[in-house]
Amino acid sequence: MNKGILLAILSTIIVAGCVGGELPFPWIQAPTAYLGANGLVITEFSIDNTEVYSNKSAKITMTVANKGGASVPDGSALAVLQGSAIMEDLVTPGNLYWTGRSTTDSIYLEMDKDMNPYDPVRDVPADEKILNWYLTSPIGIDIGTSRNDVFIGRLYYDYSTTATGNVWVYSETEASAAQAAGRGLNQNSFSSTSGPIALYVTVKPTNVIVSTGDNEFTMQIKVSNVGGGTAYCQGCVDYTTPDLEILADSELNIVDVAVTDVPGWTGEDACSDSAVELVKGEAVLTCDVTVSVPDTFRSDQVKVTADYGYWVERTASITVSGK
């Protein structure tokens, strides 16, 4: 082949790979285009004072924002206050416990609204929610002594990450004609919404060239926890009762991955799994796909969805002194 044509073909392939497709060399991995390790996040968790005396007021604030690419309906998220010497109902008095005051009656607070992500089409900002707990410091601390109490703000919510893309399928005749003419083949491309669980979709071989009797390729889906928090199976937490018990052996680090049926494909459903376990934060699903042979070429649309629950947390501390 003419050296100039060869270089042109390689340039086309490399550029296509860099914008979302797979690079043609087996030692280079080009993951699904991914927009960030975000979802529903705690942007602030703070106490209005760093030091208080016994029986004094303090306000703890948690600010929550949707920094991902999926909506969280009202009733699918819960903010929880935990930490040193907190009564679960924030009402029961106790000498060494923080108690509630004003309108505070529970350590659990709901969003009370849908939490939608940024809308780039309408340029509508992402939803944000400010949650406050109003507390009274313990009264059982001796004069002249002090202690440091740590508060943990934890956010539980249900979320989804979706990866979509095109897989180009060529007949042998079409691929040979392109090669003879010095044309590069279109490259597969995938993009993903932003979420704490990331999806990376790859196809091998990079160029799907098929014929009668030889019409298979392999699809691989990598599922990764990139949000810095903990995943659990969607539906395993009741946000309204609430019931936050998550079973370690069957519900923790579990993600539901589903591949939508693709016309002309068989076998892609083997990459669907309602209970993918993330071992050390990752899992890989692999399936062999059989496709119908096109007369020339076509672009097949693929959609992969991961549904899961997720929690993140922040900490803040305050010194309480007896008086």
Give the pLDDT band (50/70/90) at residue 25. Answer: very low
185 neighbors 168 (Cβ within 8 angstroms)? yes
Give dist(CA 313, CA 80) in Å, integer.
9
Specify the CATH number for 40-158+312-321; select among 3.40.50.1820, 1.10.3720.10, 2.60.40.10, 3.90.1640.20.
2.60.40.10
The per-residue pLDDT for range 100-156, each reduced to its tens digit, is: 887 667 899 999 999 999 999 999 999 999 999 999 999 989 999 999 999 999 999
Q: Is the pLDDT at 11 greater than 60, yes or no? A: no
pLDDT tens-place string over residues 36-92: 458 999 999 999 999 999 999 999 999 999 999 999 999 999 999 998 898 888 888
Residue 6: φ, ψ to 5°: -60, -45
Higher pLDDT, 57 or 27: 57
Burial of 12 (0-12, 13-18, 19+ CB in 10 A): middle
Angstrom distance (rounded) from CA 192 to CA 200: 8
**CA proximity to 157, closest of 199, 124, 191, 195:** 195
- Choose between 286 and 9: higher pLDDT: 286
Q: Do domains 3-30+162-307 and 40-158+312-321 have the same CATH topology?
A: yes
Q: Which two tokens stand for residue 247?
A: 């079973």
Residue 160 and residue 134: Cα distance in Å, rounded?
A: 33
- pLDDT given at position 20: 33
Domain segments of the chain as ranges: 3-30+162-307, 40-158+312-321
User: How far is residue 48's CA from residue 129's CA, in Å, rounded to a whole number?
Assistant: 18
Q: Which of 193, 202, 208, 197 is nearest to 221 (CA)?
A: 202
Report the amino acid identity of residue 181. A
Is residue 76 within 8 A of residue 309, CB to CB? The reply is: no
Can you give the pLDDT at residue 204?
95
Q: How far apart are CA 21 and CA 186, in angstroms?
A: 9
Residue 2 has pLDDT above 50, yes or no: no
Residue 12, pLDDT > 90, answer no
Measured CA to CA in angstroms, residue 65 lies from 58, 111, 153, 162 at distances of: 23, 11, 14, 20
Q: What pLDDT does 40 receive? A: 97
pLDDT (0 to 100) of residue 192: 94
Q: How many CA atoms lie within 13 A of 265 on its CB side?
A: 26
pLDDT of residue 6: 36
Q: The whole model's pTM is what?
A: 0.86
Q: Which residues contact 70 (CB under 8 A, 6 or more apart)?
A: 39, 117, 159, 160, 161, 162, 193, 195
Q: What percent of the chain has pLDDT over 90?
A: 81
Query: Mean pLDDT across the chain, nearest whole number?
Result: 88
Name the CATH code of domain 3-30+162-307 (choices 1.10.760, 2.60.40, 3.90.550, 2.60.120): 2.60.40
| pLDDT at position 8 over 90 | no
